Amino acid sequence: MNTSPRLRSLWPLLCSAPALLLPTLAQAQSPAPAPAGRSLVALYDAPTITRRCTAELKATRTAIAAMEKGRDPARLLADFNRLQLRSASFGNPVYLLANVSPSKTVRDAAQACVEKLSPLSTELYQSVPLYRRVQALQPADAVDARYREELLENFEDSGASLPADKRARAKAISDELEVLGLAFQKAVNEDPSTVTITVAEAAGLPEAWLKERKRDAEGRLVLGMDYPTVVPFLTNASNEEARRKLWTMFQNQGGEANLQRLDRALKLRHELAQLHGQPDYATMVLKRRMAQTPQAVEDFLQGVRKALDAGELRELAELRAEKAAQLGLPLEQVQVQRWDTSFLQERLKRSRYAVDQEKLRAYFPTDASVAFAIRLAERLYGVRFVAAKVPVWHPEVRYYDVFEADGKTFVGSVYLDLFPREGKYNHAAAFGVVPGSSLAKLRPASVLVTNFNRQGLDHNELETLLHEFGHVLHGVFSQTRYADQAGTSVKRDFVEAPSQMFEEWARRPETLAVLAEVCKDCPRLSAEQLQQLDRARTFGRAMRYSRQWQYASYDMALHTGTPKPALATWVALEKSLPLGYVEGTRFPAGFGHLMGGYGAGYYGYLWSEVMALDMLSAFQGRLMDPAVGRRYRELILSRGGEVPPQAMVEAFLGRKPGTEAFFREIAGQR
């Protein structure tokens, strides 16, 4: 997942952490780029956040007022860039802190500060004087023209072109939506839910997993909702009732309050669309994206559904037969439940392909896997990662300066926050904490936040690592003129493409061979094992894509037409699918994407994969070809949002992108 900007966000690239190193505005415009992590360090405690928050709020409003009075057209875009960098230098680290600080006091202070700062975006883009200045601007070149176009879209989407009364209402809606989104994610991050089971009920889990779990006074296992706990348990625990309990609790993260927040957000988004003269939120949002219309998305999703129907039913039948065989019951007496699917798929993969995800952790030790991701980037894109000691928000956080291959030219900064802890963002995501800007001579910094097993990764987690690292590289390689267009600040239905493409480097013998370069003592998978691993990966493909289709269809259902109750809409959709709905669960309460920028945009995961698989064809099967890698870095990763995605992909491929590779993939024909 990428935490790229929300609609009209004043902060181009937001993040999550407790204490961070950040450049001041003066340093952001120094004569030569320097490592952001070495310029100025501000270790934010709660009182500092609160004090600085008030000062930054006042300073930003003063800067906006000064821009409104400006008269020099030649300085206007540079002034916007300077304002965005100022806001990012404080706001991005504070947003990071709200998500990953080990201190609840710091997280709470950061959350309160972000809520105070969130209205600034709408205030900026509702400024009629600034709107008129941008309208009158004559851009100097194509980059300036693109930035001017995006600024005008931000002004229009924020309500600058609306009558005063509607503009005021649009601001109130936007401000409330920001607060709802922050509260929603905080409720998920800090959800205290646990499930207590006996050691016997954890049969099937490896000893190393058991040793890392908390115990109560009676020696029972206390299972939290973090991924290193939940995913291995649902995949390996042979006790169906224990799986049911943990799966059900996991589906209820966020609680009833989050359902109320989501319902409120849906009504506000619809009202916002109405203010803008649009029939619904999806129509309003999609006009700024590659898809452009809800109908285009619906047509695309219908094509996906048609391609998956037969395969999903076939896979479910195989799981049902496996469960019947395990239980020794006639097929007609057996029903596959949602908490069964991961477990049954894993059993079939072991029996058919001799692939055991837990045993794969020995092949992919966590430190070696991180070194593997770094070495891939170094070889493919011609850079060097140099570890350095800098102040960080937790002792386990790692920091790297990234240089060109010559070791002299600084590219950007990378932080890795890899392991779970209480109160931390509990999924995997990349956070852009410093937006790059060639105009300001400022290099970018990105943070990778995951919740990995310390001992090793299974193959699914290795793919997750490369996926999120793909987002990080998209941010770090950014060389855009303006901060607003830096890195992952691209159209929402393209933002996942670079990260999805990089997943392929976790699957190929040619690329996995690089692991031996960074871990000579790691066991190596044989050619036969790699073939089996690939076959195992493709097993269950239809069900995986069907789940993505379900999420995307649900998102579109919520945002197309008049608002619908979030939970009831989910229940109706689940009941229409083969596995059905499990009474008492409320998955939407923990579906952070819908409140974190992916509203009317979750389809982008599938849409982006169309681009990703087509771009992959440029490598012609040679994924470690540095010439293609450098060209990809130059034409795609470095350009951020300066160029429309369609044009970037066409330039890279030398032709218009197509859907053939994607539909071959979901049909299992690749």
Catalytic residue positions, numbered: 468
Q: What's the rounded Cα separation, in Å, for the pair 426 and 187?
A: 11
The torsion angles phi and psi of 428, rounded to 5 degrees, stand at: -130, 135
Question: Which residues partner with 432 through β-bridges?
Answer: 446
Burial of 63 (0-12, 13-18, 19+ CB in 10 A): middle
Q: What's the rounded Cα separation, in Å, for the pair 258 and 185?
A: 9
Q: What's the rounded Cα separation, in Å, for the pair 560 and 296?
A: 13
What H or E segment, with its residue span, contains residue 177? Answer: helix 164-189
Q: What's the rounded Cα separation, in Å, for the pair 429 and 414?
A: 13
Q: What's the rounded Cα separation, in Å, for the pair 655 and 647?
A: 10
User: Which three-class secondary structure state does DSSP give residue 191?
Assistant: coil
What are the tokens at 153?
């879209």
* Listed residue (224, 558, 219) closest to 420, CA to CA: 224
- Give the C-alpha distances (Å, rounded to integers) separating 579 from 320, 571, 573, 582, 592: 11, 12, 11, 9, 23
Q: What's the rounded Cα separation, in Å, for the pair 532 and 628?
A: 28
| 353 in Cβ contact with 535 (< 8 Å) | yes
| Separation of first and last alpha carbons in the chain | 25
Instruction: Give the other-Cβ count within 10 Å of 454's Cβ.
Output: 14
What are the tokens at 623?
């994924």
* Angle, vertex CA 469, rays to CA 214 and CA 292, nearest 5: 115
* Listed residue (627, 643, 571, 654) closest to 259, CA to CA: 571
Q: What's the rounded Cα separation, in Å, for the pair 516 and 286?
A: 45
Pairing of strands 195-197, 214-215: unpaired
Q: At what angle do helices 46-69 and 104-117 cross, to 10 degrees?
A: 10
Residues in the chain: 670
SS (H, E, C) 203-241: CCCCHHHHHHCEECCCCCEEECCCHHHHHHHHHHCCCHH
The torsion angles phi and psi of 495, rounded to 5 degrees, stand at: -60, -30
User: Residue 75 region, left (φ>0) first, then alpha (ψ -120 to 50), else beta?
Assistant: alpha
Instruction: Give the other-Cβ count within 10 Å of 281's Cβ.
Output: 26
Helices (H), 487-623: 497-502, 509-512, 515-518, 527-538, 541-559, 566-575, 604-616
What are the tokens at 322?
């496996």
| 283 in Cβ contact with 610 (< 8 Å) | no
What are the tokens at 316?
């479910």
